[in-house]
């Protein structure tokens, strides 16, 4: 038996998506071997599962309450009901007091590799909980080879056999219809071609670098720059930069959008840019590729690994290089093999992710 913790489904964008899609695919393939932990608020999303296969938690209103529940109450509930089950937590934090076997998924170790982009409290907490969790876990899933290398780099005493690389799946929006009624007028009324980026606005995402590069070529291109994503840490600095460069009429901040609006924006984008300094995986470029949009991405870390040779890669630290290739891509729509993109993205499916995850968990020496 596997108990999958999907409490983050609607509390966290990235890990929430991973939790939901993986839990759903695992359950559809192995309904008799899976229980899913969910928030009461998410019951409707998990209507595909029988009620007896759900462990429903009430009053989990935010991540702080979730963390406490996951550490102090949930392990006790699981052990009482399913003493031989293996617990899968979908992020770095393991249930430290669990008497069951434990699997965790590590998406990245950005707090160790990037300096100056997290508060000292965040760095302290992540170091503390990750150190303990890596020791507690019986198996660790790394979502890329890059993430596995990061784990071995920062935790050299860990056995490499304890880590298995399993790529995320992704949602191929291009195969889904767009419900126009869900698309806001601000998006529908876009009347110029545009360069698109989809990312939380925070220092490690390098949105400011993209804006600076765009500023260099603004007089040579007709495209605007559209930025989609929620405000993260230090987001005000990015807004201030656009104002200082007098780009308010050329750089458009859309904020958080719904799935139909995101499909609409992908479908009509001319170029997609994703120039983060650090990612554990880097999902948006795959989403863009599903629409056969030429992508400009960072040449470092997991992004390069995930896109392989199906995107143009630049160093995210060079504004000159970013601007050079942005300009070239606006002028040459055939700069990349678009057919190759469609073939490439088939490597990343939730079906494959679920099968490999189930096999990895099953390899722990407990009869499922």
Per-residue pLDDT tens, the chain, 368 aa: give them: 999 999 999 877 778 889 999 999 999 999 999 999 999 999 999 999 999 999 999 999 998 999 999 999 999 999 999 999 999 999 999 999 999 999 999 999 989 988 877 888 989 999 999 999 999 999 999 999 999 999 999 999 999 999 999 999 988 888 888 998 999 999 999 999 999 999 888 888 999 999 999 999 999 999 999 999 888 777 888 889 999 999 989 999 998 888 899 999 999 999 999 999 988 888 899 999 999 999 999 998 899 999 998 999 999 999 999 999 999 999 987 777 777 888 889 889 999 999 999 999 988 854 44
Query: Per the confidence metrics, is the pTM higher than 0.75?
Result: yes
**158 and 35, same structural domain?**
yes
**Burial environment of residue 212 by CB neighbours within 10 A (0 to 12, 13 to 18, 19 or more):** middle
Position 155 in a domain: yes
Diameter over CA atoms, the chain: 66
Position 97 in a domain: yes
**281 and 193, same structural domain?**
yes
Position 189 in a domain: yes
**159 and 179, same structural domain?**
no
Q: 113: domain CATH number?
A: 3.40.50.2000
Give me the residue label for tokens 């719904």: 258
**302 and 188, same structural domain?**
yes
Position 367 in a domain: no
Q: Where are the alpha helices (DSSP H) in 73-206?
A: 74-81, 110-113, 120-136, 145-154, 185-188
**152 and 18, same structural domain?**
yes
**116 and 22, same structural domain?**
yes
**142 and 32, same structural domain?**
yes
Say what the pLDDT of residue 2 is: 95
**353 and 342, same structural domain?**
no
Nearest CA among 65, 74, 72, 55 for reference residue 11: 65
Find all residues with CB under 8 Å of 163, minimum gap 6, and list them: 140, 141, 142, 148, 151, 152
Could you tell me the residue range of the domain that residue 228 belongs to?
173-346
């Amino acid at each position: 038996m596997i108990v999958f913790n999907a409490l983050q489904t609607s509390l966290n964008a990235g890990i929430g998506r991973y939790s939901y899609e993986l839990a759903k695919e695992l359950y559809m393939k192995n309904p008799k071997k899976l229980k899913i932990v969910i928030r009461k608020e998410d019951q409707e999303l998990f209507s595909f599962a029988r009620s007896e296969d759900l462990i429903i938690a009430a009053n989990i209103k935010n991540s702080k309450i979730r963390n406490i529940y996951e550490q102090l109450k949930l392990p006790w509930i699981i052990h009482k009901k399913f003493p031989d089950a293996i617990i899968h937590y979908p992020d770095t934090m393991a249930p430290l007091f669990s008497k069951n076997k434990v699997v965790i998924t590590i998406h990245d170790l950005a707090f160790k590799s990037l300096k100056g982009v997290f508060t000292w409290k965040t760095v302290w907490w992540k170091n503390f909980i990750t150190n303990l969790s890596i020791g507690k876990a019986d198996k660790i899933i790394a979502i890329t080879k890059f993430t596995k290398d990061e784990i071995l780099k920062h935790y050299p005493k860990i056995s490499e056999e304890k880590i298995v690389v399993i790529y995320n799946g992704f949602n191929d929006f291009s195969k889904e219809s767009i419900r126009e009624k869900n698309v806001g007028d601000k998006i529908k009324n876009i009347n110029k071609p545009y360069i698109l980026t989809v990312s939380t606005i925070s220092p490690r995402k390098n949105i400011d670098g993209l804006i600076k590069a765009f500023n260099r070529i603004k007089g040579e291109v007709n495209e605007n720059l559209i930025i989609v994503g929620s405000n993260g840490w230090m987001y005000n600095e990015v807004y201030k930069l656009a104002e200082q460069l007098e780009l308010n009429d050329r750089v458009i901040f859309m904020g958080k959008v719904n799935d139909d609006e995101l499909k609409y924006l992908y479908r009509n984008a001319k170029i997609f840019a994703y120039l983060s300094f650090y990612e554990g995986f880097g999902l948006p470029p795959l989403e863009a590729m599903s629409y056969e949009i030429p992508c400009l991405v960072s040449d470092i870390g997991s992004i390069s690994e995930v896109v392989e040779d199906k995107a143009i890669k630049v160093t995210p630290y060079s504004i000159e290089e970013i601007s050079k290739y942005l300009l070239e891509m606006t002028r040459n729509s055939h700069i990349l093999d678009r057919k190759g993109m469609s073939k490439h993205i088939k490597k990343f499916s939730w079906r494959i992710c679920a099968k490999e995850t189930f096999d990895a968990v099953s390899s722990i020496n407990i009869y499922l």
